[in-house]
Amino acid sequence: QVQLVESGGGLVQAGGSLRLSCAASGRTFSGRAMAWFRQAPGKEREFVAAISGTGYSTYVADSVKGRFTISRDNAKNTVYLRMNSLKPEDTAQYYCAAGSGSSFYVNSNTYDYWGQGTQVTVSS
C-alpha cells in the first residue's frame, strides 16, 4: 500500500501561484510514476501532469503547459506541482496519484493509489 497526502491548496487570485505537495508513505516511492489530476464540479477528472519514477521525464497537459511544473524529491518521498499564472478555470480539487511502475500515463485508470485531494480556488 502507498498512502498519499496532498497539501498546499488554497484560495488565490488570478495570476497568482501555488505549490502543491504530495507526501507518500508505505511501499517504495522512488520507482513509481506519479501524477496530478484535477476535477472541477460537474466535470470529469482530468490529467494535469506526470513524472517518471526517476524524475527524468515529465509531461504536462496542454491546458497548463508553460504554467505548471511537476517535480519530485525521492529522498523526501514527495512530488510537487508548481502552478504559476493561475486562472479561474484552474479551480478544482487536485489529486495526487501513484502508479505501479516507473513509466507514466495520462489515463487515470493506470494509477493504483490516490490521495484525498486538495482544493485550489482561483478568483478572478
Count CB atoms within 10 A of the CB of residue 101. 13
* CA 22 to chain CA mean position, Å: 8
Better pLDDT: 26 or 55: 55
Rounded to 5 degrees, what are φ and ψ at 12?
Answer: -145, 150
pLDDT digit string (tens) for 24-42? Answer: 988 788 889 999 999 999 9
Residue 109 grid coordinates: 485508470
pLDDT digit string (tens) for 82-117? Answer: 999 999 999 999 999 999 888 888 999 999 999 999
Residue type for 35, please? A
**Cα separations in angstroms, 45 against 41, 50, 92, 114, 123:** 10, 14, 9, 12, 21
The span from the first CA to the last CA of the chain, in angstroms, equals 40
